[in-house]
Amino acid sequence: MSSTVDVPTSALIGKVKWFNNKAGYGFITLKDGDEFRDIFVHYTAIRVTNSQYKYLVQGEYIQFDLENSADGPHEVKAINVTGVTGGELMCETRHSVRPPRSGSSDGFTQVKTKRTSHANAD
């Protein structure tokens, strides 16, 4: 293992491979040329706008910087983790109030069923 990073170290875009909310860490997949690298991420690296429980969602795209890891088993780690282009992470939008779907004033979608008549088989 070398202690240098061969990819740019800031404003990288990656996809959350997995994140364990209970343990507070996980991995981000970063495309490095034609190869994919797994980057360690700890919950303390997540930047949110409000004071809240911080976590990442599997499959979520995020933006982050890389830092050489002086301690621990990982060569590099993610820092300054935010939504893409500084946007919100899924953990920040979880309780957002969403507008109702179009065609419905109360937020519920009406389901129409087709009725069939059954003739007596006497």
Dump pLDDT digits (tens) for 37-90: 999 999 999 998 877 788 899 999 999 999 998 777 888 999 999 999 888 888
Q: When comparing pLDDT for 61 and 9, which is higher?
A: 61
Give the E-state strand segments of the chain in sequence order: 12-20, 25-32, 35-42, 61-68, 76-83
Question: Which token pair is 104?
Answer: 């419905």
Q: Which helix (H) or strand (E) holds 92?
A: helix 90-93
pLDDT of residue 33: 80
In the numeric block, the tokens 């820092």 are attached to 79
Q: What is the pTM of this model?
A: 0.68
Q: Report whether pLDDT(94) > 80.
A: no
pLDDT of residue 41: 96
Q: Which domains occur in the chain, in start order?
A: 12-93 (2.40.50.140)
Q: Report whether pLDDT(106) > 50.
A: yes
C-alpha distances (whole Å) from 85 to each of 62, 99, 116 are 9, 24, 53
Q: When comparing pLDDT for 45 and 99, which is higher?
A: 45
Number of Cβ within 10 Å of residue 62's Cβ equals 22
pLDDT of residue 2: 47
Question: Which token pair is 70?
Answer: 């002086």
